[in-house]
Amino acid sequence: MMKLHIASDHAGYELKEIIKQRFADRCEWVDHGTFSSDSVDYPDYAHPLAEAVASEVDGCGILICGTGNGMAITANKHAGIRAALCWSHDIAALARQHNNANVLVMPARFIDADTAADLVDTFLSTPFEGGRHERRVQKINLR
Ligand code: RB5
């Protein structure tokens, strides 16, 4: 079982629950909320998830909001977080292969549940390619 952090705002709540259920046999979820469809502010969920992922060696997580942008922008404020907004199979694969993304961000209002499940599966099963991409990923860090 792989330990995985997950969080959403109200726009991503339903998809978060679907993803948790679909991957229940593969993932041990640490759910940082939200826990209903009541309106909330995405940074209140992105920050705790980013802190949790950044505090672990090889931590990884999933963030979901309406467009994905609020979650991605917020999570990427944290050192060590590489949060990638993904909406297609190839973008999710490349986020792992080239960017060594450690947070998958999904736009709940623009993808269906099957696409989201494919993005999660791709994110979990695609390794970082390293090589020239390692140098580039290292250069992301602020000096
Ligand atoms: C909420 O309405 C929406 O703004 C939020 O889910 C997200 O899309 C923000 O980036």
10 pLDDT exceeds 90?
yes
Residue nearest to atom 6 of ligand 1 (CA): 66
Is any atom of ligand 1 closer than 6 Å to the C-beta of 11? yes
Is any atom of ligand 1 closer than 6 Å to the C-beta of 70? yes
The CATH class given to the 2-138 domain equals: alpha beta
Query: For residue 1, what pLDDT band results from cuts at 50, 70 and 90?
Result: confident
Residue 95 Cα to ligand 1 midpoint, Å, equals 22
- Taking only the tens place, the pLDDT of each residue in 66-88 is 999 999 999 999 999 999 999 99
- Taking only the tens place, the pLDDT of each residue in 12-36 is 999 999 999 999 999 999 999 999 9
Is any atom of ligand 1 closer than 6 Å to the C-beta of 65? yes
pLDDT at 53: 98
Q: What is the dihedral of CA 72, 74, 78, 84, to 10 degrees?
A: 0
**Distance of alpha carbon 16 from alpha carbon 116, whole angstroms:** 10
Residue 63 Cα to ligand 1 midpoint, Å, equals 12
**Distance of alpha carbon 27 from alpha carbon 3, whole angstroms:** 6
Is any atom of ligand 1 closer than 6 Å to the C-beta of 37? no
pLDDT at 61: 98
DSSP string, 64-122: EESSSHHHHHHHTTSTT--EEE--SHHHHHHHHHTT--SEEEEETTTS-HHHHHHHHHH
**Distance of alpha carbon 9 from alpha carbon 70, whole angstroms:** 10
Residue 55 Cα to ligand 1 midpoint, Å, equals 26
- Chain-wide mean pLDDT for the chain? 97
Please state whether the predicted TM-score (pTM) of the whole model is above 0.95. Answer: yes
Mean pLDDT throughout 88-113? 98
The closest-lying atom of ligand 1 relative to the alpha carbon of residue 70 is 10
Mean pLDDT throughout 81-100? 98
pLDDT at 141: 87
Phi-psi region of 72 (alpha: psi -120 to 50; beta: other; left: phi over 0): alpha
Is any atom of ligand 1 closer than 6 Å to the C-beta of 67? yes
